[in-house]
Each structure stands twice: as C-alpha cells, then as structure tokens.
Amino acid sequence: GDGVIRTGYPGILIESMDFQEIAAWFAMRSSQANFPCPKCLVPKEHLAHLTRQFLQRTTATMQAALRKARGKLTKKDKEKALRDFGLHDVEQILWDFARSDPYQAVSYDTLHWDEGGKFGRHIWVLIKQLLTIGMHCTTERRLKLMEKFVRNYESACGVRSILSLSVLIFRAQDIHDKDFNFLKQHYTGHASSDIRAKGTTNHMSTRIGEGFQQDVDRHYQKTNHRDAEHQMVLIDANEEAMARLDLVVADHEECLRQIQNDAEDGADDIVAPAGTSDAHWRFLAPEPVRSLARFEADMQCTDRADFFDGFDLALRKFLAGEDPEQEISFEQVIQVQSFRGLHLDFQSKMDWSPQRDIVRCSPIFHGQPRYDCVLFNAESDPLSLARLVTLLRVKVPNGRAFDLAFVRPFKNTTWKPYISWNGMRVVEECSKPAFLPLQHVERAALLARAYGTQRDNLYFPLDTVDEDMFLRLNNIE
C-alpha cells in the first residue's frame, strides 16, 4: 500500500532444551553413545579435551550419514554406521526446511549444562569432599591467606602463574580420581561460539520455562487433586494480586529513597530547557548565575583549570558560529549558569518505550568526583562519545539562551589489546575540550578503562548496559 518493497525471512524458533529433549528431537543416541554431542562428532573418550576441534554436525553431513547407513546390506553394518554418528534411523523434521539448521540452533543452557550439570552433580560434590580434608586444623590459616590472594589476583593471571597452576593441577590428579570426561563438561567448549552467534547466555536459558513448571507443580500440590485446574487458577490469581501489592510497596520505597538521594546532592532542583518545552533534557542541581569572566576565573581555581584556558574566547567563537546574525563584542557581558546533573529522555530502540538516563557532572558526588559520559550524534560519526566537563546555560545580550555541554570527546584509535573480540572498539579520550549543544546528545554511555596498556586515556565502550545500548553502539536498526 505504501509502495515500499519488504522482504520477509521465515524462520523456526527453537528454545534451549536439556540433553534428553535434544536427543529425542534430533533422533540421537543417549549421552553414553560413541558420539554423544549434538554439536560435533567428538568421541566419548575425548569429552574432557575442551581445546580440541572436531567435525561439526550439519544438516548436510547428517543426511549423508543416514543415506550411507541405509545403503548397507546388513542390519549389523547399518547399526555400526549409525553408531559412528550417534544417530537413529530417523530423519530429523527440519532437514527439509530451507534456511534451517537444527544443529546450529542448539544453544548453551546454563541451567542444565552448568548449574544442574557440571556444578551440582560434579564440581560441588568434589568440593565438599576436598573441604573435609584436614579443614579442622587449617581453616584459620587458609582464611588469613584469602586477603593476600585477592590483592595478588591480577599478577596471578600472568603467563608464568598460569604455567605454575597447570603444574599444580597435574599434581593434584593424584589427590582425587574425579573424571571430567562427560558430555556437559565437553559442551563448555561450544559456549564461546554460541555466545558469539546468539548473544549472552540469558537468551538461551531454560530457566524461565523450568520456573513455570515449578510454579504449576507448586499450585497443583495445594489443590485436592480434583478439578485441579479451577483451583490452580484461583491460587495463581491470589498470588498475582499479592505480588502486585509487593511491587507497589517496593516502588514507593524506591521513590522515597531516590527523593532522599536527590535531596543530598541538590538534584531535586530541576530546571527546564531554554527556549522550548519539548526538549529531551532537563538540568539538575543548578549553581548561581555568573558572568562569563567570573565563571572562567572560578574554574581556574579548581583542579580542572587546564580545561578552561581560553574558555571565554572559545565560547564566544562557538556562539558566533551558532548564531551568525548575533554579533557579540568582547565588551558585552555573557551570563553563565552551570549545573551538576542532567535528565536525558530517549526512546528505547528495543521496544520503543520511553526511558531516562540521569547524568552526573559534579566535582563531588557522594564524596567522590563524578563526570559521566554521553553518546551523541555528530556529522562525522553518529556514534560519537564524550565525557562531560561541565553543563552550561549561556545567555547572550539579546536574551537568547543556549544549553551546552563542555566535553572531552573520544576518538577512535587503532590500538588493540593482546586479546581482542569481534566488534571490539577502542576509543581515546582527547585532552582538548569542545562545546556540544544538548540537542545532539542521545543518552548516557558507560566506558571501561582499557587493559594491557600503560596509557590512561584508552577505553572500551560497553554495549552490554542494556538492549538499547547494544543496538545503538552496534548500529542495529
């Protein structure tokens, strides 16, 4: 109807499953089979070798294996051919679907593979056994060493320390006979590729479905097991009402706590934007209005004085570019008001819901200096980043006001750490500040100091803050 050509890509969604469900779905043999892994053809005697590479299962290879087995002349030869690939004589339903590969859809489930698998049934059992070995006479000594271990954690991650740890692990094999040659241990080797292909593990977890089953079972146990469905509906409705009341109380307590925190740093004083009522920002914690010369002199007396060298001249040049018709002479007085916080309203790219970031720009915030970072849209780069130096409202002699941020921009750099990852971005904080109109600021941003370098101005932009930030920083529409 609108003349726009759109292309639809049909897909089949497959949720994560435990191994019994995966084996049934793929028509595979059990975890004791010669080749039990649903992702690759690892022999069962090599399940503990996490760093070795094995042939990956694909729709094409499994179809070829099934055709080869069916072509055998005897039943014995056919069964041997099927066992070599861990298959039954059954065709997987998704083999005939275009653009579908069930073996790539198998995902790393932390609930079954980690918590209820390796940890609950293997590692925790071993830990409890080891903790009882001489613990009554060495507890105090071991606890005193914990502080030393925490302080030396970073140095213990070096190559020499890891080599020493490898030797200790080899020696520890004589202490216990625990065998880690089982399927859930092997599947850890597929975790990194699953995360790269599908995102974080919370997208692949069966925890939600398992939790629902537990709730259903709990409701059923409260019935008299006759006409249970109606009773379970009433029980669920009552619990939902109580949960809503708890949320209302919790929201009220959080609101009171936020009001108290805002009152401590003056953030309850909210100032509307200048010249418009539909702007997406609001100033917080205003400071007194001063002349531009007085403001520059005050800033020169702080520990951030280097950022304000030539501030008066730089601001006048910027204003001349913003409003060419307004001629501002050096004799005219410009009024400046600074702020220590900012509300930034934006629309989430994830679900289009309204969201708000609270940005701080304060020399002392709960006892510590805090200068947050922002993501803004520049002509050269729509994903530009900057750190706030100060927030300003500037009034020129003709009465017009400008809401500005004085920032230290970040620029892309070619430096990379020794260990890198797909989509990694490293930015360098510039030493020279610049003026940024607030209408170009999109939302707050979080950056982490880069490791593996002595330079203190290199940072990693973090796209894992929330779904919206992931979409923005990776330029996903």
pLDDT recorded at residue 196: 85
**Which domain-ending residue is among 148, 181, 205?**
205
Same domain, 177 and 284: no
Task: Write down the pLDDT at residue 371.
Answer: 94
Residue where a domain terminates, one of 178, 205, 232: 205
Query: pLDDT value at position 263?
Result: 56
Q: Which of 10-14, 104-108, 421-425, 444-448 has the lowest mean pLDDT?
A: 10-14
Residue 337's pLDDT band (boundaries 50, 70, 90)? Answer: very high
Determine how β-strand 384-395 pairs with β-strand 401-412.
antiparallel
- Specify if 234 maps to a domain: no
H or E segment and range at residue 253: helix 228-264
| Section 71-100 average pLDDT | 87
pLDDT of 368 above 80: yes
Q: Is there a single domain that holds both residue 21 and residue 156? A: yes
When divided into structural domains, the chain yields a total of: 2
Q: In 10 A of CB 57, how many CB atoms?
A: 25
pLDDT at 451 over 90: no
Q: Are residues 388 and 275 in the same domain?
A: yes
pLDDT at 436 over 90: yes
Average pLDDT over residues 271-276: 65
Q: Is the pLDDT of residue 280 over 60?
A: yes
Res. 171: pLDDT tops 80: no
For the purposes of burial, counting CB atoms within 10 Å of the CB of 28, is it exposed (0-12), middle (13-18) or buried (19 or more)? buried
Classified as helix, coil or strand, 117 is helix
Final residue in a domain of this structure, among 205, 226, 255: 205
CA-nearest of 414, 409, 347, 402 to 375 is 409
Residue 137 DSSP code? H
194: pLDDT strictly greater than 80? yes
In a domain, 250, yes or no: no
Position 255 in a domain:
no
**pLDDT band, residue 10 (cuts 50/70/90):** low
Strands 335-347 and 384-395: antiparallel
Report the alpha-carbon distance of residue 291 to residue 368 in Å, rounded: 28
- Position 140 pLDDT exceeds 70: no
For the purposes of burial, counting CB atoms within 10 Å of the CB of 22, is it exposed (0-12), middle (13-18) or buried (19 or more)?
buried
Which is more confident, 51 or 131? 51
Higher pLDDT pick, 283 / 14: 283
Q: What is the pLDDT of residue 142?
A: 67
Q: According to the model, what pLDDT value does residue 420 have?
A: 78
Q: 266 pLDDT band (50/70/90 cuts)?
A: low
The lowest-confidence range among 69-83, 198-212, 297-311, 451-465 is 198-212
Asked whether residue 291 falls in the same domain as residue 190, the answer is: no
pLDDT band for position 179 (50/70/90)?
confident
pLDDT of residue 375: 94
Q: Alpha-carbon distance 112 to 442, whole Å? A: 40
Confidence of residue 277 (pLDDT cuts 50, 70, 90): low
Percent of the chain with pLDDT over 70: 84
Residue 229 lies in a domain: no
- pLDDT score recorded for residue 295: 92
What pLDDT shows up at residue 22? 84
What residue spans of 187-227 are helical by DSSP H?
Answer: 191-198, 207-221
Q: What is the average per-residue pLDDT within 52-63? A: 89
Pairing relationship of beta strands 290-291 and 335-347 according to DSSP bridges: antiparallel
**Is 444:407 a contact under the CB 8 Å cutoff?**
no
Distances (CA, A) of 4 to 1, 7, 410: 8, 10, 38
145 vs 2, higher pLDDT? 2
One-letter amino acid at 184 equals K
| Structural domain for 282, as ranges | 270-473
- pLDDT value, residue 237: 92
Return the SS3 of 59: helix
Is residue 31 a contact partner of residue 19, using CB atoms and an 8 Å limit?
Answer: yes
pTM over 0.95: no
Regarding whether 180 and 327 lie in a shared domain, the answer is no
Q: For residue 286, tell me if it sits in a domain.
A: yes
Is residue 243 domain-resident?
A: no
237 found inside a domain: no
Provide, for the chain, the percentages of residues in helix, strand and coil under a 3-state DSSP scheme, each rounded to the nearest 5: 40, 20, 40
CA dist 394 → 289, 391, 407 (Å): 9, 10, 15
Output the pLDDT for position 244: 93
pLDDT greater at residue 138 or residue 256:
256
pLDDT band at 454 (very low <50, low <70, confident <90, very high): confident
177 pLDDT higher than 80: no
Cα separation, 341 vs 355, in Å, equals: 17
pLDDT at 27 over 70: yes
Q: How confident is the model at residue 423 (pLDDT cuts 50, 70, 90)?
A: confident
Residue whose pair of structure tokens reads 């979080």 in the numeric block: 446
Q: Are 395 and 401 in contact (CB under 8 A)?
A: yes
192 with 288, same domain: the answer is: no
Residues 286 and 165 in one domain: no
Asked if 438 and 279 touch (Cβ cutoff 8 Å), the reply is yes
| pLDDT above 90 (res 372) | yes
**pLDDT, position 469:** 92
Distance from C-alpha of 201 to C-alpha of 186, rounded to nearest angstrom: 17
Residue 190 vs residue 7, higher pLDDT: 190
Residue 444 lies in a domain: yes
Please give the pLDDT value at position 116. Answer: 64
Backbone angles phi, psi at 341, to 5 degrees: -160, 170
Given a cut of 60, whether residue 133 has pLDDT beyond it is yes
- Sequence-separated (6 or more) residues with CB below 8 Å from residue 99: 9, 10, 11
Over 70: is that where the pLDDT of 137 sits?
no
